[in-house]
Each structure stands twice: as structure tokens, then as C-alpha cells.
Amino acid sequence: MAMGPASASSAIRLEGIHKHLSGRHVLDGVGFAVEQGDIFGCLGPNGAGKTTTIRIMLGLLRADAGTVTVTGRDPAEDAARARVGFLLEADGLYDDLSAWDNLDYYARLYGVRDPGGRIAEVLDGAGLADRGRDKVSAYSKGMRQRLAIARAVLHSPDVLILDEPTAGLDPGGQVEVRRMLQDLRERGTTVFLSSHNLDEMQRLCNRIVLIHGGRIRLYGDLESLAAGSGRRGAVIETSAPVPDEVLAALRQEAGVSADRDGAAVTVSGGASFEVPPVVAFLVQKGIRIEQVTKQQDSLEDLYVRIEAEARAGAAAGGAPGAGGRR
């Protein structure tokens, strides 16, 4: 995938990444950029190549072809690793040690200055200040995940890479982790987030990449992708049900789909659909507007459609190329 010259603002950059594992072409020309300050979402079904991509970004695997930089460096270099925090599927915590001792061990590995002060700071940020001396074996799943994220940011990294950080958490635990990630972004940390939780991704991420079959199918700014997906509309609530003749005129003259449900009209159109002309048309017909709510494709809508297209293309023997949609 042609990405153009490297940007000085790119925290992570992959270009033309190929990787074979066990005789299978796991990544086929994958390329994308994560900009500084992003919460960047990586989507895809099991086996799509997400975990392999993460391991290459962390320098744990080498790509067969292509280039990858993290904070402008080869991710296998110590200088790059010192600026990256990560959490993989297994949290890597030591159950028989307290939260404080877990963090102290990693603080010494990373050479953190004033480890006691920094440990107290990240425990407080994770909402664990009063449980820092408890053994990790006594922690709930949500507490473990918050502690693991605290460990990942202990050395104040520029980039945080997370693989399914809310998997297996109850709703309360998911909210707590989302709060931590939003706080980190506000402090300037770039977050790369791989997850199957589409609602979570929609809430947190400003940009996404969708990988299927080792290729990129969707990539870019989430809001722009949704707005340009071809499905746009609105729910227009009115003071009284819109007469049939007005609905018919709306369909014919404004060229939109329109359905009535009581004192509300749902209108929709293509990528060029705009709400104001529809509202103006109804007002001209003497309809009193109470409220207008815009609608567009959710991340789930985009995901389902792209996945269906990818499966259909594979079944037909002509899967889409790695460029995907931008």
C-alpha cells in the first residue's frame, strides 16, 4: 500500500508489510500510520493478522518484507522499546507479589527515576492506591487489567499498544479501562488498541484500520469513513403525523427515502444527503418540526458490510486488494 513519505508526526508507521507463518501468508502488504495523539483502533476477525501486526510493531517478530517504525525507530532497537508500553493477551503479572512489588520490579527494569513516587502516581491513576500492598492473586479481572495498564505506562512511554485490554471484563471494568485510556490520551500518549468490542472502539477511537485475511479493507478517520459510507439520514420528529401527500411529495421532489412512524419521519439518502433541505421542504409544507436527529452508519454497520464484501470476494476468487477504503 502506497503511503507516501514518512510523516514526522507518525508515532507508528507500517509500509508494505508481508509475513508468512507456518506456510500461511498472514500479512499481505499491510500499511498504515498512527499519528501522535491518536487512539487508533485495529479491527478484524480472529486470524485476520492483528496479533501478528502487533508483534511486529513491538519488535517481537520480523516482517519478511516492508518497513515498520515506532517513534521513528526500528521497533527492535532498545531506544524504541524504551518509549513504548504494551499489554498483550496475557497480563504478565506476578500473582504472589503485591501490586506495588510488581510495579517496582518493572520500574527497576526500565530504570525509572524516583520509582516510589512514580508507582504511587500510576496506582492512583488506576484507582488502586488503597490496594497497592495487596497480592495480585486477590485482584478481580478488572483490577488486574488496570494494574497491567499502569505497569505499561510506568516508564511514561510515548506509545501504548494494547491487545484486547477489556476482554472478559464486566461493564464496570470496561468503563474503568476506557476512562484510563481517555486520561492517557489527554496527557499526550498515543494509544494503539486492538479489540473485538465495536462499541468500545466507536467510543474511544478517532482513526481505525480493519484487517481481514491479512489485508487492509478499511482505513482512516472514523467520522469521515462513517459519513462517506453511502448511508446517511435523519429522524425528524414533528408536532403531528405528516400527511401522506406531503410524504409522497418529499420522496418525489427531494429524492429521498421517507417513512413515517407516528409523529416522526425517517429520511435517508446517499452520500450527498443533507438534512437542511429536507427540513426546509417540510416547513414550507406547514409541518412543525420538534426535533431532528442525524443518523449515519455505525462502526458495526461498516464492519459487517466490509466483512461481507471480503468474504464474497474470497469466495469468488478475487479478494479486494490491500489498499482497502480510505
**In degrees rounded to 5, what are phi and psi of residue 161?**
-115, 120
Q: Which of 68, 110, 325 is nearest to 210 (CA)?
A: 325
- In this structure, whether the domain defined by 10-226 belongs to CATH 3.30.540.10 is answered with no
- What local confidence, expressed as pLDDT, does residue 234 receive? 84
Name the band, by pLDDT with cuts 50, 70 and 90, for residue 52: very high
Per-residue pLDDT of 11-29, as tens digits, reads 999 999 999 999 999 999 9
Distance from C-alpha of 324 to C-alpha of 217, rounded to nearest angstrom? 4
| pLDDT tens by residue, 60-81 | 999 999 999 999 999 999 999 9
Residue 121 has pLDDT above 60, yes or no: yes
Is the distance from CB of 278 to CB of 235 less than 8 angstroms? Answer: no
Interatomic CA distance for residues 307 and 213, integer angstroms: 10
Q: Over range 190-205, report the average pLDDT.
A: 89
Report the pLDDT averaged over residues 75-100.
94
pLDDT for 297 equals: 65
- Average pLDDT, rounded, for the chain: 87
* 3-state SS assignment for residue 258: strand
pLDDT band at 5 (very low <50, low <70, confident <90, very high): very low
β-pairing verdict for 232-238 and 289-296: antiparallel
Q: How far apart are CA 159 and CA 66, in angstroms?
A: 21
Segment 257-264 mean pLDDT:
90
Rounded CA gap, 290 and 240, in Å?
10
pLDDT, residue 29, reads 96
* 187 pLDDT above the threshold of 60: yes
pLDDT at residue 311 above 90? no
Task: Identify the residue whose cell numbers are 509475513.
Answer: 19
Eight-state DSSP code of residue 111: T
The pLDDT of residue 21 is: 94
Residues 6+ apart with CB under 8 A from 117: none
- Pinpoint the residues of the chain covered by CATH 3.40.50.300: 10-226
Q: How far is CA 93 from the centre of its chain?
A: 25
Q: Is the pTM of this model over 0.85?
A: no
Q: Which region among 95-109, 127-141, 157-171 has the lowest average model confidence (pLDDT)?
A: 157-171
**C-alpha grid cell, residue 304:** 459487517
C-alpha cell at position 31: 500499511
Q: How far is CA 34 from CA 78, 195, 206, in A?
A: 20, 16, 11
Spatial distance between the Cα atoms of 204 and 272, rounded to a whole number of angstroms: 27
Q: Residue 71's Cα: distance from chain center in Å? A: 19
Residue at grid coordinates 520500574: 107
Give dist(CA 288, CA 65) in Å, integer: 61
Q: How confident is the model at residue 320 (pLDDT cuts 50, 70, 90)?
A: very low
Helix/strand/coil for 84: strand
